[in-house]
Amino acid sequence: MPYNYHIEKARGLVISAARDRVTYAEIRNHQDQLVFDGDFDPKFNQLIDGTRTTALHISAEEARMVAFRRIFSTTSRRAYVSPGPIVPGVGLLMAAYREAATVSSRMRVFYDIPSALDWLQLEADQH
């Protein structure tokens, strides 16, 4: 499976990691797993580590659906760490996240984990 995650309740953080080629169905499945996980709290922040993603096979409409799905609260911070704009599909997802940021949780895209953790107001050495 291209996605795995763990929840750090004490830190109020969901750490999701994607690798290889990721599809819309896999992203949606990951979101469903979070919603039904008993340790999940919508008020948690999220770090999405996409640094090992080789491609996102996702359409513009699917990217919008992922970005606009309300899993996290409007006060949550969500940091997506991109493998870079060269990976196919990342641009679509980043654009959708930027568009969704005005109506859902606060989302930002980063190119390194320390910057993302800083924005999430977490210490890099705790990751």
Each residue's pLDDT tens digit, 105-126:
677 888 899 999 999 987 654 5
Query: Helices 24-36 & 60-68, crossing angle to 10 degrees?
Result: 10
Q: What are phi and psi of 51, to 5 degrees?
A: -65, -20
With residue 122 as reference, give the H or E element that holds it: none
d(CA 32, CA 26): 10
Each residue's pLDDT tens digit, 8-27:
999 999 999 999 998 999 99
Report which residue type is found at 78: R
Q: What is the CATH number of domain 3-126?
A: 3.30.750
67 pLDDT band, cuts 50/70/90, is: confident
Which comes out higher in pLDDT, residue 46 or 59?
46
Query: Helices 60-68 & 90-100, crossing angle to 10 degrees?
Result: 40
Report domain extents, the chain: 3-126
